């Protein structure tokens, strides 16, 4: 006789007989064999490639939203970059007619002896120095330049941020740092909206942005570079700094003071690099390039 509670293996599964007082009870029960146990499938929510539902929370409730950004298993940087890309293209479309009007209203510079030229030579000179107001130069090229600035700027910011945080002892992943860099650029979407509204109301281009107004407009050399650097400093940059510190504090696990230092170093390097295109563009704008024409 089997001892109480002894389990027997049968083809249909485990069978257990309970014995009371040395006699088997008139009842028994079966437990399904392990081979017949159904596997429990975890229902996973599909990952959203675009998270436009995070846009407003990142701007106005950043602490909770950025925690979701840096803790997300997938990269989410595409959403803010697409939004910012759309806005800079709209800005280029709005600025195109204004840029064309400004080019047409500015007369070409005349040579010192222009009055001694023959009427035919003067006419050819004026025709050769008419500004190129085609949509390619007034809209397409500025839009492509703005898009390149958005995407290349994001990549540089993310790479520098990840490198400095890693050197500071961060435990965050590269995906989280790149996503954080993308979402931290959302304040510039607000700035672009403000600039679009200003151009529609005033019919003028945005000039001397940020703190660049503290330097003369015709500055050259080192002052011109400093003006391009100061033009990047505004309230929206401070907003971005706050977002980076909040997100990096959660994702890196570092103390707030160390994160603040890493973010400050990141933006100092990034702004120094970002000011170079503006400085080069300012230097090139002072050059006068004339299309060839024939006097005779």
Query: Residue 17: its pLDDT value, please?
Result: 46
Sequence ranges of the domains in the chain: 7-33, 54-106+113-285
Residue 11 has pLDDT above 90, yes or no: no
What pLDDT digit, counting tens, does each position of 244-271 carry?
999 999 988 899 999 999 999 999 999 9
With vertex at residue 231, the alpha carbon angle to CA 229 and CA 234, rounded to the nearest 5 degrees, is 110
pTM of the predicted protein model: 0.76
Query: Residue 286: its pLDDT value, please?
Result: 57
What pLDDT digit, counting tens, does each position of 40-69 carry?
343 444 567 688 999 999 999 999 999 999
CA-based end-to-end distance of the chain: 126
Query: Residue 285: its pLDDT value, please?
Result: 61
What pLDDT digit, counting tens, does each position of 104-134 carry?
888 778 888 788 888 888 788 887 777 788 8
């Amino acid at each position: 006789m089997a001892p109480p509670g002894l389990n027997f293996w049968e083809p249909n599964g485990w069978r257990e007989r309970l014995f009371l007082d040395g006699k088997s009870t008139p009842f028994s029960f079966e437990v399904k064999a392990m081979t017949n146990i159904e596997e429990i499938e975890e229902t996973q929510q599909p990952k959203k490639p675009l998270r436009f539902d995070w846009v407003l929370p990142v701007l106005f409730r950043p602490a909770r939203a950025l925690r979701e950004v840096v803790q997300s298993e997938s990269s989410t940087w595409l959403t803010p970059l697409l939004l910012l890309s759309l806005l800079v293209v709209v800005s280029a479309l709005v600025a195109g007619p204004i840029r064309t009007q400004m080019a047409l209203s500015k007369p070409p510079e005349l040579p010192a002896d222009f009055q001694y030229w023959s009427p035919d030579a003067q006419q050819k000179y004026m025709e050769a120095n008419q500004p190129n107001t085609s949509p390619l130069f007034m809209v397409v090229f500025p839009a492509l330049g703005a898009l390149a600035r958005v995407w290349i700027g994001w990549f540089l910011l993310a790479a520098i941020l990840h490198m400095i945080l890693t050197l500071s002892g961060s435990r965050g992943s590269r995906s989280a740092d790149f996503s954080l860099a993308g979402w931290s650029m959302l304040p510039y979407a607000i700035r672009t909206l403000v600039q679009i509204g200003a151009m529609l109301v005033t019919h003028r281009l945005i000039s001397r942005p940020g703190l660049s107004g503290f330097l003369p407009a015709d500055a050259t050399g080192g002052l011109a570079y400093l003006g391009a650097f100061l033009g990047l400093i505004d309230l929206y940059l401070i907003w971005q700094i706050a977002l980076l510190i909040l997100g990096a504090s959660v994702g890196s696990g570092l103390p707030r003071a160390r994160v603040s230092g890493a973010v400050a170093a990141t933006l100092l390097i990034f702004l120094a690099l970002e000011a170079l295109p503006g400085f080069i563009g300012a230097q090139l704008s002072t050059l006068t390039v004339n299309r060839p024409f024939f006097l005779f």
